[in-house]
Amino acid sequence: MKKLSKCYIGLVLAFLYLPIAVLMVYSFNASKSRGVWKGFTFDWYRQLLENESIMSSLYTTLICGFLAALVATVIGSMAAYGIAKAKSKSSFILSVAYVPMLNAEIVTGVSLMLLFTLFGLELGFFTMLLSHITFCIPYVILAVLPKARQLDWSLYDAAQDLGCTPMRSFWKIMFPELLPGILTGFLLSLTMSIDDFIISFFTTGNGVNNLSIEIYTMAKRGIKPEINALSTIMFAVILAILIIANVGAAKKDNNKKRSVRI
């Protein structure tokens, strides 16, 4: 039974990562054709840095992603904290808050486009940023709310009884407990913003393309090998971050175990 489960897990991992492995291999292929191998080269990485359209779209994607994730994390964390404190109406508020996440992206994209047009906003980077903040907020609430519901409110009251102001009590007592959920919400929002295509397509204007729109436009004429190089770099960076985070968490756990033994 164990061998069968291991084989199943191996097949699932192969299904998930084999396409990425093929993409990474062909990022070093000297040929533009994906069906012919003509030798090993780093030319596509050099040409990636020289490709202004791809680098511009990458810059727009990262700026929009970080700004959207930052604003959505602040708003979503405050909302999750308030929902956890207002227990009587939390179910109704959650139902409303999760609508952008559960709704079809094409409906959200068209709705936001009509809203921006109604208010006379010119479609461009600002409207795309607003739309990304809108659909990222529910993911932050989803990540922070479990931590907020686990808070011990008696510690908050005790800190104020000992002389702390409400704000200082929050930063010293509550915020450290919420921090893991806040970081998770930020990373999740950043990932969703970088990954988004449909909502960005409907809410951006001429001359403002993020990476997903640039690749979609490029797909009509054929994907350039520079995209393989860019995807390989992004995958390597994310993998490095995950390894560093897991190693750091493992070291902390080991230190805690040693301190308990002592």
Whole-angstrom Cα distance, residue 259 to residue 254?
9
pLDDT at residue number 104:
84
CB 192 within 8 A of CB 200: no
pLDDT at residue number 166:
79
How many Cβ atoms from other residues are within 10 Å of residue 90's Cβ? 16
3-state SS assignment for residue 119 = coil
pLDDT above 70 coverage of the chain, percent: 94
Q: Which domain range does residue 179 map to?
A: 53-209
How many Cβ atoms from other residues are within 10 Å of residue 73's Cβ? 26
Residue 217 lies in a domain: no
Residue 156 lies in a domain: yes
Whole-angstrom Cα distance, residue 12 to residue 223?
27
Overall average pLDDT of the 19-39 stretch: 81
Domain count, the chain: 1
Residue 21 lies in a domain: no
pLDDT per residue as tens digits for the range 185-228: 998 999 899 988 999 999 998 888 888 888 888 877 777 888 88
Residue 100 lies in a domain: yes
Helical (H) or strand (E) element with 234: helix 225-261
pLDDT at residue number 100:
79
pLDDT per residue as tens digits for the range 178-196: 988 999 899 899 989 998 8
Close Cβ partners of 256 (under 8 Å, ≥ 6 residues apart) = none
Whole-angstrom Cα distance, residue 194 to residue 123?
19
CB 58 within 8 A of CB 237: no
Residue 143 lies in a domain: yes
Domain containing residue 61: CATH number:
1.10.3720.10
Residue 241 lies in a domain: no
CB 164 within 8 A of CB 221: no
Whole-angstrom Cα distance, residue 187 to residue 207?
27
Whole-angstrom Cα distance, residue 237 to residue 235?
5
Token pair of 48 as six digits: 């990636």
CB 197 within 8 A of CB 73: no
Mean of per-residue pLDDT scores for the chain? 85
pLDDT per residue as tens digits for the range 57-116: 999 999 999 999 999 999 999 998 888 887 666 677 777 888 878 888 899 999 999 999
pLDDT at residue number 245:
75
Residue 194 lies in a domain: yes
